[in-house]
């Protein structure tokens, strides 16, 4: 027997939460669309939920329509993800159990797809890549999503085109070129897309990058980021100028020596950008914003920006011009705002690295040694940041900054819309998708926002009560936007993984108005609505249940 009985993770916690809390349903704006599960925030009680949200229906049991979820990857095992699901009455099943019965929600890493061509029609389709290990085989079956009311937390090709820095950069450049050709002059187009620092793809644009370095001032800095890197790992900084040529040539040679035995290509591709050298400082330290963005649809494109987010600060002061020695030592804590870097900071006067002897200015400034939890404040909440902007620059400046940030997010997602919309039409699954993105935004001293990167699997790790509150609120509101709906399951197949008599029964008659019955699933009753009608009512339902977005 399996994890409907909560045998995978958090056994005691899951049983206590699932047994103690009710399931809430939010009726749809159209009778052909069934109710959606409602996810209270962690601070809510039964009384406050019903008082704060009109129209909710509270049920004790849904029988075989009991809400289920599955987490496919150990890298997604976050309390901030699991607890909102458990509080809403969801029960967890394992990936292997999904063969017997479909869960409402599947959460994991991005799906690896491969493109195939139909031998007769010539149509190009996307299939989930063939698994190469037993674990991938189990996940492969789960990700097929044979049921129309299942949802997965990544859109097809999302990581390749948004989470990968090279893919995102190429999509933004492609949109710039298209707009310039269709509507605007080059100057006007550049003005609309100047939220991205000038970018090169290495080694693809090596010659252009060398040309740039040679004509640049020796004081001008460039930041190198692995195209598929995360948590600040592998980031390098170099200066331009002919005088520095031996330095950046040595870095290029080192990158190119690490090649694949199969393709002969470098194992790591890099995105190189002009370094933003006049950042907005908080308490004298560099900062950036981690903003949480939910996309529920790409056609039409529907984007939600959450009201909560994180303001991340570097561990040390940004003041002063660092040299080669400085970059090797404390500058990793001055240049990078990643919490995974800052929490390793040791506030000591003597902090050296053995390799500093004979160092150059082309050094890896991330991957610092392990250290104790810092005694410096590394995170603010957004309201505190907004107060700072208002106090120092005025309310009008804050309003403009928030508008500019929204434009950065919209234009970034517009750049990826064509590819992902096309992929959705070519994926063989009846399930659907929703995705949480972590947008990292840097702001300069003039309050101009710049896009740093977009994370398709933003960390939900909670390092403090503030972190926990923010991230559980984000998850709860994301799940409400996902519009997960109850559907009746085959009791015989459900019985293969479950012994709970409250689950192994037909949904109570009083609940059937909110549940897609097996008969309605077979007749696909929801298809009586046109795509346009479905989109309109779905959007209305999302707005009716959204909180904090």
- 3-class DSSP state of 156: coil
pLDDT at 422: 93
209's CB contacts (< 8 A; 6+ apart) are 200, 202, 272
422's CB contacts (< 8 A; 6+ apart) are none
Domain with CATH 3.30.470.20 in the chain: 280-320+327-344+375-483
Between CA 227 and CA 229, with CA 228 as vertex, the angle to 5 degrees is 100
Token look-up 């100028």 returns 241
pLDDT at 316: 83
What residues in the chain have per-residue pLDDT under 70? Answer: 1-21, 183-187, 189-190, 229-232, 258-267, 320-330, 337-375, 548-549
Cα–Cα distance for residue pair 385/308, rounded to 1 Å: 11
pLDDT at 26: 95
The pTM (predicted TM-score) of the whole model is 0.87
Per-residue burial over 140-177, b = 16 or more CB atoms within 10 Å of its CB, e = otherwise? bebbbbebbbbbbbbbbbbbbbbbbbbbbbbbbeebbe
pLDDT at 327: 40
Q: How far is CA 389 from the centre of its chain?
A: 26
Half-sphere exposure of 17 (CA within 13 A, CB side): 20
Domain 280-320+327-344+375-483's class?
Answer: alpha beta
392's CB contacts (< 8 A; 6+ apart) are none
pLDDT at 389: 97
Q: What tokens were used for 422?
A: 């096309």
pLDDT at 116: 85
Q: Residue 300: is the preceding peptide bond cis (ω within 30°)? A: yes
pLDDT at 401: 98
pLDDT at 119: 80
pLDDT at 192: 76
Among 42, 73, 14, 107, residue whose Cα is nearest residue 471: 42
- 3-class DSSP state of 304: strand
The topology under which CATH files domain 198-275 is Dna Ligase; domain 1 (3.30.1490)
Q: Strand 105-107 and strand 68-71: pairing? A: parallel
Among 103, 246, 195, residue whose Cα is nearest residue 404: 195
Domain with CATH 3.30.1490 in the chain: 198-275
pLDDT tens digit sequence for 179-206:
877 766 666 766 778 898 889 999 889 9
């Amino acid at each position: 027997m399996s994890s409907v009985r909560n045998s995978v993770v958090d056994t005691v916690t899951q049983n206590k939460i699932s047994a103690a809390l009710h399931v809430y349903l939010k009726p749809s704006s159209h009778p052909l669309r069934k109710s959606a599960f409602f996810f209270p925030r962690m601070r809510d009680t039964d009384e406050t939920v019903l008082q704060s949200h009109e129209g909710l229906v509270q049920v004790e049991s849904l029988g075989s329509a009991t809400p289920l979820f599955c987490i496919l990857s150990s890298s997604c095992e976050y309390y901030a993800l699991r607890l909102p699901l458990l509080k809403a009455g969801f029960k967890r099943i394992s990936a292997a159990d999904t063969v017997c019965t479909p869960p409402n929600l599947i959460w994991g890493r991005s799906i690896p797809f491969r493109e195939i061509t139909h031998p007769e029609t010539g149509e190009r389709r996307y299939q989930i890549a063939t698994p190469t290990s037993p674990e991938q085989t189990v996940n492969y079956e789960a990700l097929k999503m044979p049921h129309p009311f299942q949802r997965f937390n990544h859109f097809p090709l999302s990581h390749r085109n948004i989470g990968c820095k090279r893919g995102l950069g190429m999509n933004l450049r492609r949109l710039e070129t298209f707009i310039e050709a269709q509507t605007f002059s080059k100057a006007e187009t550049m003005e609309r897309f100047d939220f991205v620092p000038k970018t090169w793809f290495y080694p693809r644009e090596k010659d252009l990058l060398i040309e740039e370095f040679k004509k640049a001032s020796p004081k001008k800095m460039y930041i190198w980021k692995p195209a598929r890197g995360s948590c600040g790992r592998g980031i390098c900084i170099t200066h331009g100028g002919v005088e520095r040529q031996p330095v950046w040539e040595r870095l290029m040679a080192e990158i190119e020596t690490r090649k694949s035995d199969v393709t002969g290509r470098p194992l790591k591709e890099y995105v190189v950008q002009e370094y933003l050298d006049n950042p907005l400082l908080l308490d004298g330290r560099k900062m950036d914003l981690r903003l949480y963005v939910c996309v529920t649809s790409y056609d039409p494109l529907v984007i939600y920006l959450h009201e909560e987010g994180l303001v991340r600060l570097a561990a040390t002061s940004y003041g002063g011009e660092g040299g080669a020695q400085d970059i090797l030592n404390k500058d990793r804590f001055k240049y990078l705002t990643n919490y995974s870097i800052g929490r390793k900071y040791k506030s000591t006067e003597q902090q050296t690295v053995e390799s500093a002897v004979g160092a150059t200015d082309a050094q890896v400034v991330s991957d610092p040694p392990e250290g104790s939890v810092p005694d410096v404040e590394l995170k603010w909440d957004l309201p505190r940041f907004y107060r700072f902007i208002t106090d120092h620059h005025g309310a009008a400046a804050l309003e403009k900054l928030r508008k500019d940030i929204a434009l950065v997010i919209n234009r970034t997602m517009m750049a990826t819309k064509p590819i992902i919309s096309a992929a959705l039409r070519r994926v063989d699954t009846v399930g659907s998708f929703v995705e949480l993105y972590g947008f990292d935004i840097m702001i300069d001293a003039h309050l101009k926002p710049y896009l740093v990167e977009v994370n398709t699997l933003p960390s939900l790790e909670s390092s403090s009560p503030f972190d926990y509150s923010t991230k559980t609120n984000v998850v709860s509101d994301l799940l409400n936007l996902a519009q997960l709906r109850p559907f009746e399951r085959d009791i015989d197949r459900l019985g293969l993984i479950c012994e709970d008599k409250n689950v192994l029964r037909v949904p109570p008659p009083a609940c059937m108005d909110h549940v897609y019955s097996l008969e309605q699933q077979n007749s696909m009753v929801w298809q009586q609505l046109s795509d346009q009608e479905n989109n309109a009512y779905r959007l209305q339902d999302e707005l009716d249940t959204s909180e904090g977005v």
